[in-house]
Structure 1
């Protein structure tokens, strides 16, 4: 009995050991299987990430982004600058891609790149010192245009109608979204009580390249607002020091844009407006009357000056409620850096040359001399 008992015990131990071995094998198999599955998933995730990083970051983007590549920049610095600027997804992948393709000898400079560019296009641009992509078409928005006039330009150059453009730029929902996207430019003043159109004067005049045949109206407008944001940002410190807003800047500059007939006149006309405002005189600028009436004509009549509207600077002191057109960089800079003069009056003769006066009597004499 005692021997049988020992055998039973040994048998039980052997049986228990076999179970443990089987269990260990099962655990090892399960762990191995999980490692393979996890490794496969991780590999797939890594593969998808790398593949996406080799593609354009945003194939539909038309926004141009300025990237500065300093002299002496190596591939590491260039890759980091591209990622930081939002042109590429991953700096390391761009660096390895360039090395794998034996790309080097990149040129320093300031590049206007887009998120829709491929890595090869970006590399080619950095090697040649110029943007490699050719736009499908370019849209030129001149200085001094109102929203309605910009709509007409867009209608001629694209498949979009002026009415559709105007519906978008005057949509409260769209304006609100743009205010969130460009808070440094589109402040609460654009929704002032007497402001006619919130985005009037905020679509920067320039030539815009497009790399698709039919960009949406929103894409077009967003590019213009983005450009305004870039231009105005460089003057933020000056505005803050003067305790002035972007709305004030673009409103003032729009008057110069409409009044100036020569590039050199802007700073002098700005001095006239500053002198008048400081002296408590109305600006009395004819373009505000035409904007108030919503008409375009060569000559403003005396009866027009009596038109009751917040934009009429003959009837209201100071600047109008908002811009009356889109101002270019020259007018913006003249607003911030006017000439130092004692002029209070100016007029344009029949050839468009401006003549400035310090007194009203002198102004009347010039009217007789140049306009009669």
Structure 2
């Protein structure tokens, strides 16, 4: 009997000991969890503070004590990205990327090409003010303005009108393989062999950047004019090298993508949303079905695309062919190039431009057709 009582007491002692040990383990676990949570909060706080301090520092003058000025040249046609890169490379600002976003946040525009006297001690607003009022070193004898969204045939006409030539002669020269290959030697990274694809209509289509170009001789050779335009395209794309590498976009792919956005966009439209539609369609293996490609395939400029036009047999017809067109269908500005690389994250697969210029986006075909019936007449 005593042995049984002792056994019961031993079991109770073991149970009690086990409970005490479990309580101790629970306390340890709670302490560990508390430490981990506190560590996460601490790390998040450090990252947040670090990010704030990083941006704050980037918005401050590079060297407040250095009042020495230096001449900085902003080339004709420079976009926000290229200007930011130039200023960082010249040692005027701390961070070109932060400066680019600062410009966009302030909605600044109207930057002038020219040579400026700038110093590392200048505030960012001072730098912005300066590059909106610079003057070129000497007066140009010839100025050629190439707007955004222009096709090579239209650019040939602009060049011809400014240089007393025939537009057909200029276009023939721009399409001449020997001429193009001479330019390729000067711009090998930009003009790859992709432009000589047999499906391409014009090798230099989309490669002549929209900007105003100044030349100091009235008899400037065509090769010089075109080479300057190609150089400007190179400078603009240089500001997007990291994004291009990340997305595995060659200059040809990027300019092709950007041209489709450019041709679909109106003045007020959000190009990043149009870009998202194209990206979503490509990922879903859907044809892009964008009307400007049909018009390009037909080689005609018309206000409307009719159903019969959609049947045109061409590798540029995105109603009949999936993926991007063989090459660009026009030149694209900096905004469309950036939109091609930075689409909004949406679920849209359709968009519709109304007569007022407003663009309506839809997720489903049914939704798209309802908007189409409401806003577009049935004579397409």
1:193: how far off? Answer: 2.5
Distance 1:263 1:337, change over 3 A: farther
* 1:317 equivalenced with 2:322 (yes/no): yes
Inter-partner Cα distance in structure 1 for 2:135 and 2:150: 30
8 Å contact from structure 2 (residues 349, 363) kept in 1:
yes
> Which residue is equivalent to 2:224?
219
* 1:177 equivalenced with 2:182 (yes/no): yes
Inter-partner Cα distance in structure 2 for 1:228 and 1:109: 28
1:361: how far off? Answer: 0.7
Inter-partner Cα distance in structure 2 for 1:143 and 1:107: 30
- Match for residue 281 of structure 1 among 251, 276, 286: 286
The unaligned stretches of length 5 or more in structure 1 are: 1-61, 73-105, 111-127
> Which residue is equivalent to 2:347?
342
> Which residue is equivalent to 1:31?
none
> Which residue is equivalent to 2:117?
107
1:70: how far off? Answer: 4.1
> Which residue is equivalent to 1:255?
260
Inter-partner Cα distance in structure 2 for 1:107 and 1:343: 47
1:160: how far off? Answer: 2.2
Inter-partner Cα distance in structure 2 for 1:276 and 1:151: 33
Give a deviation string over 1:76-117, Cα, whole Å, max 9, x none.
xxxxxxxxxxxxxxxxxxxxxxxxxxxxxx93369xxxxxxx
> Which residue is equivalent to 1:189?
194
Q: TM-score, normalised by structure 2?
A: 0.65
1:345: how far off? Answer: 0.5
Q: TM-score, normalised by structure 1?
A: 0.66
1:308: how far off? Answer: 1.0
8 Å contact from structure 1 (residues 63, 223) kept in 2:
no
Inter-partner Cα distance in structure 1 for 2:119 and 2:218: 29
Give the SS at the match of 2:117.
coil
- Match for residue 247 of structure 2 among 242, 250, 257: 242
Distance 1:159 1:281, change over 3 A: same
Give the SS at the match of 1:364.
helix
Distance 1:109 1:255, change over 3 A: farther
Inter-partner Cα distance in structure 1 for 2:369 and 2:285: 20
> Which residue is equivalent to 2:297?
292
Distance 1:160 1:336, change over 3 A: same
Rg: which structure is higher? 1
Distance 1:215 1:237, change over 3 A: same
- Match for residue 166 of structure 1 among 163, 166, 171: 171
1:135: how far off? Answer: 1.2
8 Å contact from structure 1 (residues 262, 353) kept in 2:
no
* 1:204 equivalenced with 2:214 (yes/no): no
Aligned residues: CA RMSD: 2.5
> Which residue is equivalent to 1:371?
376
1:63: how far off? Answer: 12
> Which residue is equivalent to 2:141?
136
Give a deviation string over 1:211-259, Cα, whole Å, max 9, x none.
1222121111111111111111221222122112111000000001100
> Which residue is equivalent to 1:331?
336
The unaligned stretches of length 5 or more in structure 2 are: 1-75, 94-115, 121-132
- Match for residue 271 of structure 1 among 273, 276, 288: 276
